[in-house]
């Protein structure tokens, strides 16, 4: 079905407003502007909560104008660094948010699609970061080779993590993953060859076609700070994560995961190999998380066990639940919101972690389905 004129207007207006608000939010120093934008954001959701017809109208517009929406979004992502006046801190926040968005999408395969709790995504993230950093420091392996190596190592960990999931369920499974996460964190913290609590320093910056990622991008007289390299790299990763999430959702694997979520016993009766799909979910999660970990390690060029604690895993879980389970867009919004919020609450300095906890509880209480609730699976193509 072709998009109507009003569809096009809605899509363009919403994406532009979103981008402009994000820009002001990132550059704002004054807590009043931050608070104002947050209020606007909340008001938007309040309207959606009470006027579900508007919500479905917007949804329809995006469904009909998918190509336009995606094209415009890619354009906005490409041009966004130009609008930041060379503010490196804002770029840094964006990079970290994008990495967390990848982690949240990774966890969403499990928590959202199959309803399997996993409190060890932070550990997979850490394994990815440490494996690639150790390879780069000790064996001079370059970034592009360290990336798949880290992914393989983390996937192996994911399979290992999946083994107990064959028998345990719900709270017990949650504890098994918590235990794995704590064990990995403690080991990273205690081994000598991981640098102990001091972590690893001096991870070299990657380069592509002779262009080092530590140097600024210069195109036609416009100069972007060196962080822009990693901004585009992580944006590509987010794109890959979104595409693979959608492909998986549309495949038999995604369908099997959804069946698992609906009723494990019924799924088993339908001939779905429940154990295999559960373990697969763990492996896919770890695989994607390792990519994010590798980029993080090479971007910051310093990692320590404190980047990969239990609380990091909890934060990723929260991003998925607050954003909306099994809704890729919602999960990304959740990741951006929960990464930027603590940073933007710096005006309250010491109180920001307290506010963070309270905000999470409030979100869960007020919109229990998540900001963007999961949509019903549509069978048999277009309407």
Partner 1 sequence: MAAELMQQGLNWLTLGCIYALIAVGFSLLFGVLKVIHFSHGDVSLVAPFVALAALQGWSASASGMSAIGLLVACAIAVVATGILGVVLDWLVIRRFRDAPAMMALVATVALGIALRESVGHIFPNGHNPQPFPRLIDANFNVTEGFNLPAFNVLVIGSSIAVVVLLFLLLQHTPLGVRIRAVSQDREAARLMAISPSSVFRATFFITSAIGGLGGLFYASYAGVTRFDFGIQAGLIGFSAAVVGGLGSMPGAIIGSLLIAGLDTIVQATLPDGASYRLVFAFLLVILVLVFRPAGLFGSVAVEKV
117 binds partner 1 (CB under 8 A): yes
Among 115, 207, 226, 244, binds partner 1 (CB under 8 A): 115
Contacts of 108 (CB under 8 A, 6+ apart): 245, 320, 325, 326, 328, 331
Alpha carbon distances (Å) from 44 to 23, 331, 358, 369: 18, 17, 20, 16
Closest separation in Å from C-beta 117 to partner 1: 5
Q: Could you write out the DSSP letters of every residue in 217-229?
A: EEETTEEE-THHH
Taking the C-alpha atoms of residue 130 and residue 134, their distance in angstroms, rounded to an integer, is 6
d(CA 241, CA 246): 9
| Closest to partner 1 by CB, 178 or 260 | 178
For residue 227, give both structure tokens. 């962080």
Query: How far is residue 116's CA from residue 24's CA, in Å, rounded to a whole number?
Result: 37
Rule CB under 8 A: say whether 190 interacts with partner 1.
Answer: yes
> 200 forms bridges with which residues in the sheet?
303
> Does 265 engage in binding with partner 1 (CB under 8 A)?
yes
39 is a site residue for partner 1 (CB under 8 A): no
Q: Does 310 bind partner 1 (CB under 8 A)?
A: yes
Straight-line distance from the first to the last Cα atom of the chain, in angstroms, rounded to the nearest whole number: 9
**Residue range at the interface with partner 1 (CB under 8 A); choices 71-79, 128-136, 181-189, 291-299:** 181-189
Are 331 and 324 in contact by the 8 Å Cβ rule? The answer is yes
Q: Is residue 183 close enough to count as binding partner 1 by CB under 8 A?
A: yes
How many residues bind partner 1, per CB under 8 A?
42
Q: Is 262 in the site for partner 1 (CB under 8 A)?
A: no
Of the pair 292, 317, the CB lying nearest partner 1 is at: 317
Q: Choose, by CB under 8 A, the member of 220, 365, 379, 381 that binds partner 1.
A: 365
CA distance 19 to 94: 12
Assess 383 for contact with partner 1 (CB under 8 A): no
When the beta carbons of 79 and 163 are compared against partner 1, the nearer one is: 163
Point out which span in 46-54, 77-85, 111-119, 284-292 binds partner 1 (CB under 8 A): 111-119
Q: Which of 172, 247, 276, 375 binds partner 1 (CB under 8 A)?
A: 172
Q: Are strands 200-201 and 207-208 parallel, antiparallel or unpaired?
A: unpaired
Residue 198 within binding range of partner 1, rule CB under 8 A: no
Stretch that binds partner 1, among 5-13, 110-118, 133-141, 205-213 (CB under 8 A): 110-118
Q: Are 83 and 23 in contact (CB under 8 A)?
A: yes
246 binds partner 1 (CB under 8 A): no
Q: How many residues in the chain?
A: 383
Count the alpha carbons within 13 Å of 146 in the hemisphere toward its beta carbon.
29
Contact positions with partner 1 (CB under 8 A) in 139-168: 163-164, 167-168
Asked if 8 contacts 68 with a C-beta cutoff of 8 angstroms, the reply is: yes
Examine residue 337 and tell whether it contacts partner 1 (CB under 8 A): no
Site for partner 1 contains 255 (CB under 8 A): no
Could you tell me the smallest distance in angstroms from the CB atom of residue 291 to partner 1? 24
Number of H helices, E strands in the chain: 15, 6
Give the interface with partner 1 as residue ranges (CB under 8 A): 111, 115, 117, 163-164, 167-172, 174-176, 178-180, 182-183, 186-187, 189-190, 265, 310-311, 314, 317-318, 321, 350-351, 353-354, 356-358, 360-361, 364-365, 368
């Amino acid at each position: 079905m072709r998009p109507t004129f009003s569809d096009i207007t809605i899509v363009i207006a919403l994406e532009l407003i979103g981008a402009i608000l994000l820009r002001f939010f990132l550059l704002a120093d004054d807590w009043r502007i931050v608070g104002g934008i947050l209020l606007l954001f909340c008001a938007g959701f309040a309207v959606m909560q009470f006027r579900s017809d508007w919500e479905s109208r917007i949804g329809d517009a995006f469904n009909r104008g998918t190509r336009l929406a995606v094209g415009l979004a890619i354009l906005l992502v490409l041009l966004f660094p130009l609008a930041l006046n060379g503010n490196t801190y804002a770029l840094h926040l964006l990079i970290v948010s994008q990495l967390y968005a990848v982690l949240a999408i990774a966890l969403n395969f499990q928590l959202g699609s199959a309803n399997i709790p996993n409190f060890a995504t932070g550990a997979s993230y850490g394994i990815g970061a440490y494996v690639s950093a150790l390879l780069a420091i000790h064996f001079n392996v370059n970034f592009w080779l360290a990336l798949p190596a880290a992914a393989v190592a983390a996937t192996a960990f994911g399979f290992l993590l999946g083994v107990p999931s064959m028998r345990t369920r719900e709270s017990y499974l949650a504890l098994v993953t918590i235990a794995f996460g704590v064990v990995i964190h403690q080991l990273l913290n205690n081994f000598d060859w991981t640098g102990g609590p001091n972590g690893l320093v001096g991870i070299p910056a990657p380069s592509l076609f002779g262009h080092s990622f530590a140097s600024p991008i210069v195109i036609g007289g416009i100069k972007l700070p060196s962080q822009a390299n990693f901004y585009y790299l992580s944006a590509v990763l987010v794109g890959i994560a979104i595409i693979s999430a959608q492909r998986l959702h549309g495949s038999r694997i995604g369908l099997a995961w959804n069946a698992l979520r609906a009723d494990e016993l019924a799924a088993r009766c339908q001939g779905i190999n429940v154990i295999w799909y559960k373990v697969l979910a763990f492996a896919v999660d770890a695989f994607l998380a390792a990519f994010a970990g590798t980029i993080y390690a090479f971007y910051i060029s310093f990692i320590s066990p404190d980047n990969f604690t239990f609380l990091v895993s909890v934060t990723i879980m929260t991003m998925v639940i607050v954003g909306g389970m099994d809704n890729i867009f919602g999960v990304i919004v959740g990741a951006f919101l929960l990464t930027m919020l603590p940073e933007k609450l710096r005006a309250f300095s010491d109180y920001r972690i307290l506010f963070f906890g309270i905000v999470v509880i409030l979100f869960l209480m007020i919109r229990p389905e998540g900001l963007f609730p999961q949509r019903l699976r549509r069978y048999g193509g277009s309407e």
